[in-house]
A and B are shown apart, each in its own frame.
Chain A
Amino acid sequence: MSHLLDTPNLTDHDGFYAELLAAHKGLSEPESHALNAQLVLILANHIGDRQVLSEALVLARKV
């Protein structure tokens, strides 16, 4: 088990960001929510590390 990485780790993050927005293009708000939800589940499966996922949830909820 490892810890959540919160330092830069993705090359071409600008490219990913553009692709992410493009994926939402033309979707209604509920469709966008659905896309985001699926994306979280897909990525969670890919990460495959419970500890990391719990830490990600904590970070996302932190105010």
Chain B
Amino acid sequence: MPYDYQPFPYVAPPGLSRPEPRHRVVIVGAGPIGLAMALELANHGVESVIIDDNDVVSVGSRAICWSKRSLEILDRLGVGERAVEKGVTWKVGRTFHRDAEVFNFDLLPEEGHKMPAFVNLQQYYVEQYLVEAVQANDLIDLRFKNKVTGIEQNADFARVEVETPDGTYSLEAEYLIACDGARSPVRGMMGLEFDGELFEERFLIADIEMKADTPPERWFWFEPTFHTGQSALLHKQPDNIYRIDLQLGWDADPEEERKPEHVIPRIEKVVGHSDFKLDWVSVYTFQCRRLQRFVHDRVIFVGDSAHVVSPFGARGGNGGLQDVDNLGWKLAAVLEGSAETVLLETYDTERIHGTDENIMNSSRSTKFMTPADGAERLFRDQVLALAAKAPFARSWVNSGRLSIPCVYPSHGNDDPAMPRASRPGTVAPDAPLGNDWLLSQLGGRLVLLVLGAELDNIDGAEIIRPEVTDTIRRRYLGSEQRAIYLIRPDQVVAARWPYTDKTAIERAIADIWRGA
């Protein structure tokens, strides 16, 4: 059944009748990223106000693929299990050229992680769960039908003008977080450039409702006979909803293509029958762009306002959640006074590093799917031709390289005898821990993960000493017998040692807060 859009109630904000005291944080935009940002800050004890010009969740499913890392982040925010329960867990992707399968992959989820590799769940569900968590949280004040119309920066605060159905008022905040999406009015009002590439191609994106017994797999076609010369994607979501993407070509007229009389015959050819209902249709042009800097003094850009990518590879929403993960603890520490503002610079550098990786991967996939005439098309077509006869070429076929978290550049102490998968800069790998999971013990604060080593108490970090199971040995010790890991509040490994002393650890902790 289609999603039942329930408008959230508008309540006249206090600022309409009297000036509000300066807030610590105002978040503009209650999309998935703004909502997650507020919850993450609340986990660190920081209050915030979220304002959104609208009063419903995302219209149309938009983001559907949520990566393992996103699910881990959502889990810390209290909605991860709900997302997995409702979502469609999938791991097999099949790629077809014309009508023959040329390649398939199995994301082969390794045992011993709480979260699966990918879950498909419509963005409106993710937003609904986040809104419910926000509304149950006393530290967050969520205001619908509050639209930002102006912004002003001062030395130590930002002020926004806000329009409501009952008139306008202004809000001040020590930090303003712009989560107002790809078209970001805040970005526009600040006159910031959004650099990058626009792909001269149009895609029809449709959700249809149909009863089918297809397995939960991602099917991607290059030049199928049902949609000559173009590419197509079919992906399953909960509630018998299927996502279909069809490449249309640059010359397609978006207004015309959106009309049911054009959409329905195209989809009939994909699914081979007419026993379906249209749930949502849109025509998109995709871009890969980012701001030059994400931190502008008291205004910080997070999510689509900071960067957009084409959706092949599912890096938009997933990338935004990683921004949230990276910024939350840093901003909380700066607001509390336990870190200098320079720590926020590392949000800028680390997330620009992650964004550039996402943009690079998304651009490559988009180029492979929509090659320009000349060498691009020549090589694309010949990779497809080779894929049918040479196994190596199958992995060269690029219909999206799925989102995995980037590895942040790190100067943290390392030991080459320990596994690469948990080196400094990576997200600490999960592992079962009795009835619980390692990742639920990490995060939120600095942790020293002590494995078979001796260590006295250290100020500023909590020591945990899990049992060294086989999985923990494989993921954290490698050929070492013992280890000490210093893990940041966002579960990223900061440094690791087989042997060390108090001074070295204290120095590494100080480095984290100095943003070194």
Contacts and interface: CB of A to CB of B under 8 A. Distances in A.
Interface stretch (B187-195, B277-285, B395-403, B461-469): B395-403
Given A21-B375, A24-B375, A8 B389 contact: no
Nearest to B376: A21
Contacts of B360: 18
Contact of B395 (A13, A21, A62): A13
A13 B375 CA distance: 17
Contacts of A62: 389
Contacts of A24: 374-376
Contacts of B390: 6, 59
B360 to A, nearest CB: 8
B395 A18 contact: no
Contacts of B395: 8, 13
Given A27-B375, A29-B374, A32-B375, A17 B392 contact: no
Contacts of A14: 361, 364, 396, 398, 401
A33 to B, nearest CB: 10
A10 B383 CA distance: 14
B401 A9 contact: no
22 contacts: A5-B392, A6-B390, A8-B391, A8-B392, A8-B395, A10-B392, A14-B396, A14-B401, A17-B379, A17-B396, A18-B364, A20-B379, A21-B367, A21-B376, A24-B374, A24-B375, A24-B376, A25-B375, A27-B375, A29-B374, A32-B375, A62-B389
A7 interface: yes
A19 to B, nearest CB: 11
Contacts of A10: 392
Interface residues of A, number: 19
A21 B378 CA distance: 10
Contact of B392 (A9, A25, A29, A32): A9
Contacts of A13: 395-396
Contacts of A59: 389-390
A24 B367 CA distance: 14
B364 A7 contact: no
Contacts of B368: 17
Given A14-B398, A27-B375, 14 more contacts: A6-B392, A8-B391, A8-B392, A13-B395, A13-B396, A14-B361, A14-B364, A17-B364, A17-B379, A17-B383, A18-B360, A21-B367, A32-B375, A32-B378
A27 B373 CA distance: 12
Interface in A4-63: 5-10, 13-14, 17-18, 20-21, 24-25, 27, 29, 32, 59, 62
B390 to A, nearest CB: 4
Contacts of A20: 379
Interface in B414-463: none
Interface string B359-387: 01100100110000011101100010000
Contacts of B396: 13-14, 17
Interface string B320-356: 0000000000000000000000000000000000000
Nearest to B390: A6
A23 to B, nearest CB: 8
Contacts of A32: 374-375, 378
A20 B327 CA distance: 37
A18 B375 CA distance: 11
Given A8-B395, A14-B364, A32-B374, A21 B379 contact: yes
Nearest to B367: A21
A9 B395 CA distance: 11
A6 B391 contact: yes
Nearest to A23: B375
A27 B383 CA distance: 20
A59 B383 CA distance: 13
Q: Which of B360, B361, B375, B396 has the most CB of A within 10 A?
A: B375
Contacts of B398: 14, 17
Contacts of B376: 21, 24
B248 to A, nearest CB: 23
Interface string B74-93: 00000000000000000000
Contacts of A25: 375
A6 B389 CA distance: 9
Contacts of A29: 374
Contacts of B389: 59, 62
A5 B361 CA distance: 27
B199 to A, nearest CB: 14
A21 B203 CA distance: 23
A6 B391 CA distance: 6
Nearest to A35: B375
A13 B396 CA distance: 7
A9 B368 CA distance: 21
A21 to B, nearest CB: 6
A7 B391 contact: yes
B429 to A, nearest CB: 21
B70 to A, nearest CB: 22
Nearest to B375: A24
A7 B396 CA distance: 11
Contacts of B401: 14
A22 to B, nearest CB: 10
